Structure formats: structure tokens, C-alpha cells
Amino acid sequence: MSTHHTPESSAHLSEPNCIFCKIVQGQIPSQKVFEDEDLLAFHDINPWAPIHFLIIPKTHIASMAQLNPSHEAMMGRIMVKAGELALQVGALPYPEGGFRVVVNTGRHGGQEVHHVHVHVLAGERPWQKI
């Protein structure tokens, strides 16, 4: 019997053991950057850059691998929000400034929390000054 999940079976309103679902529900505190009916953005607790926040859908979707065409508008909103929010929290404007968007997917892709999330990173990177 296959343990593969279809995209439809892996999208739920929330998963009880998911740390990001607990943040959405207010069970775990976060430093919010933005929130609306569908999305939540909050600062990463282990930042890789001077500006580092995550944007997540409030609905639990395990990873990018589970996205389907019904998620296109939501993912498009996340991508547009990334730039808007980066500037709001202090990123310098393009082209001198800018930001980086990273999505880890699965174990080989470095995904640690299995709730789709987009990392937005900005600010000076120390290794560029070498």
C-alpha cells in the first residue's frame, strides 16, 4: 500500500503537531510582520540575515511538492507580498538593495518544518565584504 499523499490529502486547515499551524492559531508566539485572512508573515527565530522573515499560508500545506493549480493565486500573493514586506521591514530598494526568496522542499531541499513557507532575507551579507 502506498503512503504517497495526493495534493488534496495533504492540504488541511491545520495539523495538530505543526509548529507553524500553532503559530497561526496563536498557541506559539511570533513577531508578526503581516497577517490577513489567508497569510501570515513573521520573523524567523534563527535569522540567516539582518532581515529574515517567513511568509506562510494559514492553511496547512506540507510543502511546495503538494501545491496544485488551486494554490496559484495564493503563491502569487506570497511572492508579491515578499517584496512589499521586505521594504516595510527595512530592506533597501532594488537595485542597490533588494532581497532573497528561498523555499526549501523536502529533506534533500533542506526543509525542516513541513508547512510550506517562503523565507525572505535582506540586508548586508557579511561574506560579500570579503
Q: Which three cell numbers stand for residue 83?
A: 517584496
Tens digits of per-residue pLDDT, 83-97? 999 999 999 999 999
Tens digits of per-residue pLDDT, 53-66? 999 999 999 999 99
Total-model pTM: 0.88
The residue type of 60 is: H
Q: Is 117 assigned a catalytic role? A: yes
63/11 Cα distance (integer angstroms): 9
Report yes or no: 89 and 54 within 8 Å, Cβ to Cβ: no
Q: Among residues 52, 115, 117, 119, which one is catalytic?
A: 117
Structural domains in the chain?
8-129 (3.30.428.10)
Residue 13 scores a pLDDT above 60: yes
